[in-house]
């Protein structure tokens, strides 16, 4: 059985990002390399929350990023997941936006995804937060996904 990867908004966005800053170019290239050469090793999914985020964006590539996201099966937030988001926010695990990082973490955790793939290294793929995430998810009886970037998942 293949491991599962929940892909959040930043991955789809970086796939099409056209900015010339070297760090952006590197993330775009690593994202494309992972998508082209590694994704077949995994069962991929995303969420309707990702679709919503991509439609709200103002980036010139948002339609392309949304089209790419729509190629994957999407899970939908439930009331149970909303409760998990509230706990994350209450315990300052994630920023107060209930439709952002907390929701992605809750979805990946609730649906027992092996990985949460992201370029958000401030709130999600952040080793300094992982211990706190593990504690809260354990208290909630939830799976703890590996929070990683496309670059790290290629290795």
Task: Output 98 or 146, whichever has higher pLDDT.
Answer: 146
Q: Reduced to 3 states, what is the DSSP secondary structure of residue 5?
A: strand
pLDDT band, very low/low/confident/very high, at 98 (cuts 50, 70, 90) = low
**Which residues are bridge partners to 74 per DSSP?**
46
Q: What is the number of other CB atoms lying within 10 angstroms of the CB of residue 138?
A: 11
Nearest to 111 by CA among 8, 10, 4, 38: 4
**Mean pLDDT computed over 104-123:** 92
Overall size of the chain counted in residues: 155
CB-CB contact of 111 with 75 (8 Å)? yes
CATH class of 3-154: alpha beta
Quote the pLDDT of residue 140.
Answer: 95
3-53 pLDDT tens trace: 999 999 999 999 999 999 999 999 999 999 999 999 999 999 999 999 999
Quote the pLDDT of residue 99.
Answer: 65
128: pLDDT strictly greater than 70: yes
**Mean pLDDT computed over 84-113:** 85
51-72 pLDDT tens trace: 999 998 788 899 999 999 999 9
**Mean pLDDT computed over 146-150:** 95
The DSSP code for 20 is -
CB-CB contact of 119 with 14 (8 Å)? yes
**Mean pLDDT computed over 92-107:** 79
Q: What is the mean pLDDT of the chain?
A: 92
């Amino acid at each position: 059985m293949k491991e599962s990867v929940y892909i959040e908004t930043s991955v789809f966005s970086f796939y099409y990002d056209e900015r010339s800053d070297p760090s952006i170019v590197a993330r775009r290239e690593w994202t494309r390399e992972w998508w082209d050469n590694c994704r077949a090793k995994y069962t991929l999914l995303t969420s309707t929350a990702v679709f919503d985020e991509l439609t709200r964006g103002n980036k010139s590539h948002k339609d392309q990023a949304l089209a790419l996201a729509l190629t994957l099966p999407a899970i939908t937030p439930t009331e149970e997941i909303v409760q998990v988001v509230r706990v994350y926010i209450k315990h300052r695990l994630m920023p107060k936006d209930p439709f952002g990082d907390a929701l992605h973490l809750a979805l990946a955790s609730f649906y027992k995804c092996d990985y949460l793939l992201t370029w958000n290294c401030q709130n999600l793929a952040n080793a300094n937060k992982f211990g706190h995430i593990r504690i809260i998810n354990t208290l909630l009886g939830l799976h703890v996904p590996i929070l990683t970037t496309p670059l790290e998942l290629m290795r």
